[in-house]
Amino acid sequence: MQLTNRSIQVVKNELTLAERLYFPAIIKGMIITLTHLFKRKATIKYPDQQRELAPVYRGQHVLKRDEAGAERCTACGLCAVACPAEAITMESAERTKGEENLYREEKYAKIYEINMLRCIFCGLCEDACPKEAIFLTDRIVPSSFTRGEEVFGKDKLVEGIDLRVDVTKRQTQEVLNFKTDKKHKHNQTYLDRQK
Amino acid sequence: MTDSMLIYKIILCVIVFAVSLGAAAYMTWGERKLAAWLQDRVGPNRAGPLGLLQPIADGIKMFFKEEMIPTHSNRWLFILGPCFFMLCACMTGVVIPWGAGWQTETTLYPMQVTDINIGLLYLLGVVSIGVYGVMIGGWASNNKYSLLGALRASSQMISYEVAMGLALIALVMMTGTLSLKEIVEQQDAGMANVVYQPLGFIIFLICAFAETNRAPFDLPECESELVGGYHTEYSSMKLGFYLFAEYINMFISSAIMASLYFGGYNFPFQHELGLDGNILTIVQSAFFFGKIFLFIFLFMWVRWTLPRFRYDQLMNLGWKVLLPLAIANIIITGFVMLFTGKLG
């Protein structure tokens, strides 16, 4: 049964004199390598030059803060539920008095861990998040010597107050509109429903 | 020999030694660069501009590597191996004429350390002794991979030496001399020897690849099957010596091929230029190094093109193809000499 028409019929003829002489084949091969000498290089001088990433590139995650510098994440766990690789774990805690500048809402993630070895960088956590808290960025996850170092906690995930991570490529107006539209039930807060 | 000649010869010795070492060092850089370019890569470019300081960095690295001598090895032979290989590699440079010579009012200082009348024989002899460096190293390591590599190296070198010698006999029949200087000077008067001995040149070229253990004949090293071949157990600068000596061998065999078959330091229309003797010598040397460079390029180009031979293919090629061809070449040369009346 022929599955594809890509199969090549193997011909096992006696070698001709030219083939047995070996030299024509060698010269042919050497001409091929010589042409490669003048070809454009496939590699780049990496630390000096960097290849441009695709606009949809999904790399290391970031946990965003809001404009005032408070963490957006409320530890709802939707990202962990959405994650097909089960890479995300978290533990929530209640915000106490005086922490308003640290956490945007009453509940926050005490522990938030992403196992970078499990993560498949699909971006479903980003889609699931109702609070615009988690985004995948164009940063490359650094390598490490141990497996433990690849479990990223809040120290590595939350962006610094002064070191904001740019996610404008991911957080487009379209996404923002969808996530803030009160028409959708998942965007309504308790107070909205009271009205 | 006058005092001035003696001093000149000593200086020339040092220069030849330094040039072959320097050339070998930069050949490692050239090899890596060329390999990269042939594979569409950039190659070493971090140490200095264009990575030109790379050989120095490699050398320093080699010196500071930990020195390991296996407990079960024969210590003296283990040390002797690389020394021997290096010595033989450096010894061959002395009979090569690098240029015509410096003419003063009274004497001519030749650009050749010594013009012995059995120069070719000396070359073959020293090259043969070079096998011992590999043999001793592989044997003294007391390691099966080393021993296998050494066995392969020695049988390969001995097999190809036969064809190489026979290819040279045709050349010697034609030129009637074993002195390299005379062979080169004869090519000044007539054409380059490759015109008369194309088959001999091809045989010699293939044998030179095999003698220097270069791809496609690099079975002695064969990193994919024998770990590192005869230098598996070597580390630090002893390994460096083996690798380095191989590049020197490559440089010297390029020089030999250039002088035996491609006119040595001569170049076309050199006497029509009307250059002064000493300036002509400089230009001649430059041409000679150009020829050497082309051969080295060929060595590297072939290495990054052809895959390695299988061992039986290697032996078949040596004994069943090159040896009969070399003998046929001698017979043809003899007949041609007989009919053109060039005989004796």
DSSP B319-332: IIIIHHHHHHHHHH
Query: What is residue B186's three-state secondary structure?
Result: helix
In terms of residue numbers, what domain contains A88? 61-187
Q: Is the pLDDT of residue B343 over 60?
A: no
CB B152 within 8 A of CB B311: yes
- The CA distance from A40 to the nearest CA of chain B, in Å, is 7
CB B199 within 8 A of CB B166: no
Task: Report the alpha-carbon distance of residue B151 to residue B156 in Å, rounded.
Answer: 8
- Residue A49 resides in a domain: no
A26 touches chain B (CB under 8 A): yes
- The answer to whether the Cβ–Cβ distance between B305 and A44 falls below 8 Å is no
Task: Report the alpha-carbon distance of residue B333 to residue A102 in Å, rounded.
Answer: 95
Task: Report the alpha-carbon distance of residue A77 to residue A74 in Å, rounded.
Answer: 8
- Residue A145 resides in a domain: yes
pLDDT at B331: 92
CB B212 within 8 A of CB B254: no
- Residue A43 resides in a domain: no
CB B299 within 8 A of CB B138: no
CB B56 within 8 A of CB B80: no
Residue A6 vs residues A1, A2, A13: alpha-carbon distances, Å: 13, 9, 21
pLDDT at A186: 66
The model's confidence at residue A87, banded by pLDDT at 50, 70 and 90, is very high
- The CA distance from A101 to the nearest CA of chain B, in Å, is 48
The model's confidence at residue B1, banded by pLDDT at 50, 70 and 90, is low
Reported as a single tens digit per residue, the pLDDT across B243-277 is 888 888 888 889 888 888 888 788 877 777 777 77
DSSP B163-191: HHHHHHHHHHHHH----HHHHHHHHHHS-
- Residue A33 resides in a domain: no
Task: Report the alpha-carbon distance of residue B168 to residue B176 in Å, rounded.
Answer: 11
- Residue A137 resides in a domain: yes
Reported as a single tens digit per residue, the pLDDT across B65-87 is 888 888 888 888 888 888 888 88
The model's confidence at residue A115, banded by pLDDT at 50, 70 and 90, is very high
Q: Is the pLDDT of residue A116 over 90?
A: yes
Tokens 């070229």 sit at which residue? B205
Query: Residues near A74 by Cβ (< 8 Å), separated by ≥ 6?
Result: A92, A104, A105, A107, A108, A109, A131, A133
Give A-chain residues touching B305 at CB under 8 angstroms. Answer: 26, 29-30, 32-33
Which two three-digit tokens encode residue B214?
A: 């270069």
Task: Report the alpha-carbon distance of residue A150 to residue A79 in Å, rounded.
Answer: 19
- Give rounded-to-5 percent helix, strand, coil for chain B: 70, 5, 25
Say which CATH number the domain at A89 has.
3.30.70.3270
* Beta strands, E only, chain B: 99-103, 108-111
Which two three-digit tokens encode residue B48?
A: 């200095």
What stretch of H or E contains A62? strand A61-63
The model's confidence at residue A146, banded by pLDDT at 50, 70 and 90, is very high
CB B192 within 8 A of CB B264: no
- Residue A78 resides in a domain: yes
CB B28 within 8 A of CB B53: no
pLDDT at A118: 93
- Residue A105 resides in a domain: yes
Q: Is the pLDDT of residue B90 over 70?
A: yes
Closest Cβ–Cβ partner in A30, A32, A39 for B302: A30
Cα-Cα end-to-end distance for chain A: 69
- Residue A129 resides in a domain: yes
Mean of per-residue pLDDT scores for chain B: 84
- The CA distance from B227 to the nearest CA of chain A, in Å, is 27
- The answer to whether the Cβ–Cβ distance between B305 and A39 falls below 8 Å is no
By C-alpha distance, which of A35, A113, A28 is closest to A79?
A113
pLDDT at B135: 87
- The CA distance from B31 to the nearest CA of chain A, in Å, is 13
Query: What is residue B11's three-state secondary structure?
Result: helix
Reported as a single tens digit per residue, the pLDDT across B46-70 is 888 888 888 888 889 888 888 888 8
Give the total number of structural domains in chain A: 1
B320-326: average pLDDT: 89
Task: Report the alpha-carbon distance of residue A89 to residue A109 in Å, rounded.
Answer: 10
**A 65-94 → B contacts, CB under 8 A:** none
Query: Residues near B322 by Cβ (< 8 Å), separated by ≥ 6?
Result: B160, B163, B203, B206, B207
